[in-house]
Structure 1
């Protein structure tokens, strides 16, 4: 999707990309808006300094999933596992996750 790096749930699926956040939005809100799991470099590209990410990690507002990836504490475990293992969800898995098709 143009304008937004892929998330673990993107795996070639089409859909609406989250708009870039307003400058005053908190780092936690941005991560949540982008699906709950994001790459640290994506946060940097959005203008968040490394110190803001590290502060959110120290305060447990974000959790380190793996080097270069963070998540909100209540992120979807399926997305966290995908990021942790460096994979993306298939379109079918994502559709099931969103309740669009049966299990």
Structure 2
């Protein structure tokens, strides 16, 4: 059985209960890691190593996963041509959804 620390390290430092269970980590191992302080519970069903990337911690706290733009930025790739569009579906009243269109510039 894989340890919770090893599984989280493979996942980049942050993982969900489900992903840990699929990696072969028992619920008792997760609970023991939290109790011992070697693993942090950052949100319901989301666990992290104490030295996990702050960006991944932030995403985990909100039950989110970094997307394409974040992955590019995190890997040091630049981008240009950022343009923000507002979208409001037909018949909808209220705040619009912000959509970012980005032209990536790979080194």
**TM-score of the superposed pair, with normalisation by structure 2:** 0.66
In structure 1, how many angstroms separate the alpha carbons of the residues matched to 2:14 and 2:7?
Answer: 10
Shift of 1:89: 1.6
List aligned pairs for 1:1-103, cutoff 5 A: 23=1, 25-101=2-78
> Gaps (5+ residues) in structure 1?
1-22
In structure 2, how many angstroms separate the alpha carbons of the residues matched to 1:98 and 1:70?
Answer: 23
- Bigger relative contact order, structure 1 or 2, given CA contacts below 8 A and separation 6+? 1
**TM-score of the superposed pair, with normalisation by structure 1:** 0.69
> Gaps (5+ residues) in structure 2?
81-107
Corresponding residue SS for 1:29: helix
Larger Rg: 2
Q: In the comparison of the two structures, how many residue pairs are matched?
A: 80
Name the structure 1 match of 2:92. none
Corresponding residue SS for 2:78: coil
